[in-house]
Chain A
Amino acid sequence: MPTANNAIRMTEIVNVRTESPTVKTFTFTDRLCGKAKPGQFVMLWLPGIDEIPLSIMDVNNGLVSVSVKAVGDATRHMHNMEAGTLVGVRGPFGNSFIESRGRVLLVGGGTGTAPLLFLAKQLSAKTERLSFVEGAKTKDELLFVRELDGICSGKNLITTTEDGTAGLQCLVTQPLGELLDKERFDMIYTCGPEVMVKKIFEMTEQRKLPLEASLERLMRCGIGLCGSCVIGKYRVCRDGPVFTAAQLREVADELGISKLGFDGSRIPV
């Protein structure tokens, strides 16, 4: 049914910032998305091009930021956009991460770090300790290191790269295993490539630790109608994108394995 957040609002991009050779952050004004919580997403209409789901990276005084990697036609088009470009916004959609107190650990891979930075900012004042493990292919792709360094007060930020150009040369799962065995955490949050999320889920399950993971799927309607983004019985756009360990157990046969393609057939993740 008609809701305020599902109505398209036209707004201008007010700022574009380059984060890495392949990632840019776009900032726009939107009253409703300005109240979004970490984990929620927007549907961004690029007139004449496409409409795509994007995780919210930050909200600040009505300003909303999304970090976008150039991976397809729509995102490559976005990378050519400048301040002043008109876009349409629907949202915020989906659920959000549940704030935990005590000792929390965030694990981000690639642009999956963006919504976790938003979460980290909100959690930093409320938690006893906040640790962050971030992984990327190479140094240039490690996002938001300076911001995270500030939030985690240095020693609780671990970075990894596959090629060893920065931080540890390994996947995020390697230091994560050591961390989980050495320290006690009250909540673990993750977002990133689904194969990574699946591996982290297996690690937290083995150790009986709580986990919240944000998932990504092909999305069309964003409001739970079209069924394009389902995993098991869940709609990622409406029941997610954040799922608990208990929910992930229910969809373990699809997590990191298959998703629906544009034609609704099952394809590898």
Chain B
Amino acid sequence: MESNLLGISFAGLSLENPTILASGILGYTAESLKRVAKGGAGAVVTKSIGASPRAGYPNPTVVQAEAGLLNAMGLPNPGIDVYSEEIKYAKTVLRVPLFVSVFGYSADEYASVASKAVEAGADAVELNVSCPHVKQTGAEIGQSPKFLSEVVEKTKAAVNKPLIVKLSPNVADITVLAQAAIEAGADALTAVNTLKAMAIDTETMMPILSNVKGGLSGPAIKPVALRCVFDIAEQFEVPIIGCGGITDWRDAVEFFLAGASAVEIGTAVADDDEVFRTICRGIETYLRKKHYGSVKEIVGLAHRK
């Protein structure tokens, strides 16, 4: 059976397969998350949730780039108090682990939102310390080892579930931030969030996104994300979730070989909500062909010297 080859466990979580819905894609409602889970995801991550409601930015919030997508949604979310009800409902309809993505404007806020998410039933918390387009949160925290450790430490103390820290690629050396997160108590890392980017229209001579700058996702960023995972895996033992431009099984396998234990898929979901199942089948075929008994056996193999 598939689950024998693809089943993984990390940071105390058991997943039937290593493909996970990335945060920000669908992810508001339990019904949307259920649909993605039915498409074969081994776990799902919600939209990033904060302490209070946020409407996000006006459109355009999405612009197509050469080999990917730029977005600056602006962290729209209903706030954890309202969203707790959705988490509770999601837990009744989902048969895969539910990760709640959390952001805040201070370490205390991160900790408080995370604690409420866990209280409502989150199986794990993923800290968004890497959103590149909202001021005073996200990457503005995740780019500073000092702020990052404070946030991770406080949140870790507030929750009794696995704490995953989603890192930003918009730094000189991602391993410095990885180390800060690990030392502050992160159980796993997700690498990476979107790359800070922009688009300009030549006719109007204006930036297209209403927020001017946003985050680039999709195939364009895959080689960057892969390098980030490789760099972290080279130095640390921590479980890593690879994220960035994964579209097919070959992309996923590259991330495993670089050192990821699981992968998150986002942009590719728009075109095919069965993308998780398709990728899992491909990974399975690859493992059989290469005579491996489990996806766990290929994690980090690209580091062999």
Contact = CB atoms under 8 A, between A and B. Distances in A.
A223 B201 contact: no
A50 B268 CA distance: 26
Interface stretch (B56-64, B131-139, B156-164): B56-64
A227 B204 contact: no
B36 to A, nearest CB: 10
Contact of A230 (B31, B59, B210, B268): B31
Interface in B189-236: 201, 203-204, 206, 208, 210, 218-219
Contacts of A45: 59-60, 208
Interface stretch (B22-30, B169-177, B290-298): B22-30
A71 interface: no
B22 to A, nearest CB: 10
A50 B59 CA distance: 5
A21 interface: no
B154 interface: no
Contact of A10 (B34, B69, B79, B203): B203
A167 interface: no
A159 B190 CA distance: 58
Interface residues of A, number: 37
Contacts of B67: 2
Interface string A200-239: 0000000000000000000011111111101011010010
A261 B77 CA distance: 9
A26 B21 CA distance: 39
B270 interface: yes
A261 to B, nearest CB: 8
B288 interface: no
Contacts of A262: 55-56, 76
B267 interface: yes
B219 to A, nearest CB: 7
B250 to A, nearest CB: 15
B65 A2 contact: yes
Given A1-B219, A260-B28, A220 B62 contact: yes
B78 A233 contact: no
Which of B53, B69, B203 has the largest number of chain A CB atoms within 10 A?
B203
Contacts of B47: 227, 264
A7 B64 contact: yes
B53 A265 contact: yes
Contacts of B218: 1-2
Contact of B204 (A10, A221, A223, A265): A10
Contacts of B146: none
B247 interface: yes
A8 B55 contact: no
Nearest to A90: B64
The 10 nearest A-B residue pairs measured at CB: A265-B78, A51-B59, A262-B55, A227-B26, A10-B203, A263-B53, A221-B62, A51-B60, A224-B270, A264-B28
